[in-house]
Amino acid sequence: MERDIKEIVTHFRITGECQDFEKNTTGHINESYFIKTNSADHPGYFLQWINHNIFKNVEGLMDNICAVTAHLAAKLSENKDLAFKVLEVILCENGKNHYLDPEGHYWRLYTFISGAHGYNVVDNAKIAYEGGKAFGLFMSLLADLPLGGISETIPDFHNMEKRLYTFNQSLAADKADRVKEISSQIEFVKMRTGQMLTIPALIKSGKLPMRITHNDTKFNNILFDSSDHALCIVDLDTVMPGSILFDFGDSIRTGANTAVEDEKDLSEVDINLPIYEAYTRGFLKSTFSTLTEVEIENLSFSARFMTFIIGLRFLTDFVDGDTYFRTSYPEHNLDRAKVQFRLIEAMEKKADIMQAIVMQAVEEENA
Ligand code: GN1
Ligand code: MG
């Protein structure tokens, strides 16, 4: 898809002019570009094409982001000790928070956060602790923003019942003639279905509270500064009502896996317990006073729950012929699913230790 990036940027209220741009290749859904300007005062922006096939209500999504970033900015200005930054949405010339181009594509612009970096694989406990504290803080600072004003940007995003139903529909349709390749993965899913449905049951019965959560807490959605202090949480498209278990679990899936999400050598995949422990301690440091008993009890299991739901989504997309996640080769989604399932097996073996680590961290917070 060829796009006139320089022309698109002219629709936003930027300082200077776009001189140059570079495509950023991380992320499976949207498309992102670093924008360099000729202004010394404001040298960089971050432009994103919002995938309208997936995010059906871009207006609601952008209003969510503006509400959340404004709330966080106000909170942070009250507490100067928090050296945290918040994404800054740049408005368009017409005052809107996104630009709709004549072909019906949606664009948004943020100020570029310079001097920051992220981690795809984490092997340093200090960084894991920082990350846990940062995502925990994100949730706690949003605790007093009313849920009612926030739209659901992807309905049923982490609804396990719905995801299982869709998977079974895809198996029955077998559009890409790939079901024959995944019999062991189908078995894997069947064996764990009952256990995975315990979380939606807790949500339905009201025992697990809904909060404003991030819902895409991949570890690389935390930006760190040059001294490895967590600086900013990014990728706010899926901030909406959810369970805190979604946020904790997805960070463990990504941050505490010893391998990358699409590792081909499955023997590289394992749960890194020191990283898990450090993340858990950091996370509880900033959320403990808010969490309920049921949330704490299910925290360690949420790592398996989130790894399962995302593995199931990769597998479903493989069966459908790769229509959702961006892929680089035909087996890419299957490889991603295999990594998730291998990680679940590793976590099953360490389930007792993972639970004990949460309880130990809780005890420290209570002390
Ligand atoms: C997608 O595009 P990215 O990497 O931010 C997906 C997440 C998955 C993730 C798996 C809106 O996120 O739910 O966990 O890929 N986002 C959406 O890597 O579906
Ligand atoms: Mg994302």
pLDDT score, position 63:
97
What range defines the domain where residue 227 resides?
Answer: 125-366
Residues 151 and 260 in one domain: yes
CA-to-CA dists, residue 114 to 63, 85, 127, angstroms: 25, 11, 19
Residues 56 and 159 in one domain: no
In a domain, 252, yes or no: yes
In a domain, 118, yes or no: no
pLDDT score, position 81:
67
First to last CA, the chain: 56
| CATH number, residue 138 | 3.90.1200.10
C-alpha span between 340 and 19 (Å, rounded): 41
C-alpha span between 367 and 363 (Å, rounded): 6
C-alpha span between 167 and 349 (Å, rounded): 26
Residues 237 and 192 in one domain: yes
Which structure tokens are listed for 150? 């926030």
Residues 224 and 137 in one domain: yes
Residues 91 and 31 in one domain: yes
pLDDT tens per residue, range 326-358: 999 999 999 999 999 999 999 999 999 999 999
In a domain, 119, yes or no: no
Placement of tokens 């790592």 in the chain: 303
In a domain, 153, yes or no: yes
Residues 163 and 266 in one domain: yes
Give the ligand 1 atom nearest the CA of 26.
4
Give the ligand 1 atom nearest the CA of 254.
18
C-alpha span between 29 and 49 (Å, rounded): 9
| CATH number, residue 27 | 3.30.200.20
Q: Exposed, middle or buried, 98 (CB in 10 Å: 0-12/13-18/19+)?
A: buried
Domain boundary (44, 79, 111) is at 111
State how many domains the chain has: 2
- The rounded radius of gyration (Å) of the Cα atoms in the chain is 20
Asked whether the predicted pLDDT for residue 144 surpasses 70, the reply is: yes
Q: Is 247 in the pocket of ligand 1 (CB under 6 A)?
A: no
Ligand 2 centroid vs 32 CA: distance in angstroms? 12
* Band of pLDDT at residue 27, cut at 50, 70 and 90: confident
pTM: 0.96
Residues 158 and 241 in one domain: yes
C-alpha span between 288 and 234 (Å, rounded): 23
Residues 28 and 144 in one domain: no
Query: Ligand 1: which of 50, 120, 216, 309 to mutate, most ligand atoms within 8 Å of CB?
Result: 216
Asked whether the predicted pLDDT for residue 275 surpasses 90, the reply is: yes
pLDDT score, position 69:
96
* Band of pLDDT at residue 266, cut at 50, 70 and 90: very high
Q: Is 216 in the pocket of ligand 1 (CB under 6 A)?
A: yes
Question: Does residue 286 contact residue 326 with C-beta atoms inside 8 Å?
Answer: no
pLDDT score, position 1:
56
Residues 86 and 136 in one domain: no
Residues 105 and 186 in one domain: no
Amino acid in position 305: F
Residues 273 and 139 in one domain: yes
Domain boundary (76, 111, 146) is at 111
Asked whether the predicted pLDDT for residue 98 surpasses 70, the reply is: yes
pLDDT score, position 2:
63
Residues 212 and 154 in one domain: yes
Which residues have a Cβ under 8 Å from the Cβ of 337 and sit 6 or more positions away? 185, 311, 312, 314, 315, 318
pLDDT score, position 94:
95
DSSP for 45-96, written as a single string: EEEEEE-TTT-S-HHHHHHHHHHHHHHHHHHHHH-TT---B---EEPBTTS-
> Among the residues of the chain, which ranges form H helices?
5-9, 58-78, 125-141, 160-173, 183-196, 198-204, 244-255, 273-287, 293-320, 332-349, 351-366
pLDDT score, position 143:
94
Q: Is 238 in the pocket of ligand 1 (CB under 6 A)?
A: yes
Domain boundary (111, 146, 178) is at 111
CA 303 to chain centre: 13
Question: What are the contacts of 356-360 at 24+ separation with CB within 8 A?
Answer: 357/273, 357/276, 357/277, 357/280, 357/300, 358/280, 358/284, 358/296, 358/299, 358/300
